[in-house]
Amino acid sequence: MNQRLISSNFITGLPEFDMPPLDPYFTESYSMEYDKGQLRGKLIAMDVRTYGLTKAHFLSVKPEMVDDLFRLEIDVEIPKVLIDGNYDVDGFVGTFKIGGKGFFNISMEDMRTVWDISGHVVDDKWVVEHFKMTPTIGGMKIWFSDLFNGNDDLNQAALLFINEYWPLVYRGMLPKMMDAWDTFLSEFTNRFFSKIPFSTVFP
CATH node for 17-196: 3.15.10.30
- SS3 label, residue 107: strand
Inform me whether the pLDDT recorded for 13 exceeds 60.
no
Q: Read off the pLDDT band of 203 (50, 70, 90).
A: confident
Say how far apart CA 67 and CA 88 lie, in whole Å: 46
User: Which candidate, 133, 129, 31, 122, places its Cα nearest to that of 71?
Assistant: 129
**14-59: pLDDT as tens digits:** 566 666 677 788 888 888 887 877 778 898 999 999 998 888 888 9
pTM beyond 0.75, yes or no: yes
Q: Where are the domains of the chain?
A: 17-196
| pLDDT at position 174 | 87
Return the higher-pLDDT residue of 109 and 148. 109
Inform me whether the pLDDT recorded for 2 exceeds 50.
no
**53-63: pLDDT as tens digits:** 888 888 999 99
163 Cβ contact partners less than 8 Å away, ≥ 6 residues apart: 140, 141, 142
Please state the length of the chain. Answer: 203
Q: Read off the pLDDT band of 139 (50, 70, 90).
A: very high
The pLDDT mean for the chain works out to 86
Pair 107, 81: CB distance under 8 Å: yes
